[in-house]
Amino acid sequence: MQTQSRGSPLGNLAIVSTLVDAAMAVRRGEHWAAALLLGAAALSTRIPGAGVVASALVRLVRRLR
């Protein structure tokens, strides 16, 4: 059984963007946000848009604090 290792270029860009957001969250000391974003990046391989939803959620929580 062979697995696909290549997705669409935009899908790959979304995953990389979510990983960069997670790295920035670690730098800020927001470990909860980093964990959420890393999980979303992992899910983005199967559920397109999971990273976008997680990023929006993190930004919303930051604004409400």
pLDDT tens-digit series, residues 40-61:
999 988 988 898 899 999 999 9
Res. 1: pLDDT tops 50: no
Q: Name the residue among 49, 22, 48 with its Cα closest to residue 33.
A: 22
Cα of first residue to Cα of last residue in the chain, in angstroms, is: 47
In angstroms, the CA 26 to CA 28 distance is: 5
pLDDT-based confidence at 6, cuts 50/70/90?
A: low
Res. 2: pLDDT tops 70: no
Res. 31: pLDDT tops 60: yes
